[in-house]
Amino acid sequence: MEITGRGSDAAHAAGWGLLTAFLVVLGIVVGSRGLKDFDTALVPYAGATVFAAGALTRPGYLALIELAVALLVLQAIAINRLAGLDYPLWARARAPSRAPP
């Protein structure tokens, strides 16, 4: 797709994408007090968030990504509960009840 003219849809979407990505980066910098409290282990996640904020071109894509994230979280909870591990949901996994011998 070519970007033609000043008012083209592609240029408009690119501008909004860049603005959104900039606002996400600004939020990260301000929220981490000038990157003083920013954990370097979060760099890949921050980069992916900035990319996603700039790359999403339709609201439906955002809804689809949110649904995928929700399904992954539910899957992680289920796997940890089945493994008997506590998952940080303000509730401990129930210990299996044992019948007395």
Whether residues 24 and 51 fall in one domain: yes
* Domain shared by 46 and 65, yes or no: no
Q: Is residue 4 part of a domain?
A: no
Is the predicted pLDDT of residue 39 greater than 60, yes or no?
yes
pLDDT at 89 over 80: no
More confident residue, 6 or 15: 15
Question: Both 14 and 43 in a single domain?
Answer: yes
Domain membership flag for residue 101? no
With 0-12 / 13-18 / 19 or more C-beta atoms within 10 angstroms meaning exposed / middle / buried, residue 63 is exposed
Q: Are residues 80 and 43 in the same domain?
A: no
pLDDT of residue 31: 86
pTM for this one?
Answer: 0.48
Q: Is the pLDDT of residue 84 over 60?
A: yes
Regarding whether 65 and 53 lie in a shared domain, the answer is no
SS (H, E, C) the chain: CCCCCCCCHHHHHHHHHHHHHHHHHHHHHHHCCCCCCCCHHHHHHHHHHHHHHHHCCCHHHHHHHHHHHHHHHHHHHHHHHHCCCCCECCECCCCCCCCCC
In a domain, 95, yes or no: no
Q: Which domain holds residue 74?
A: 58-90
Residue 7 reports pLDDT greater than 80: no
pLDDT category, 94, cuts 50, 70, 90? low
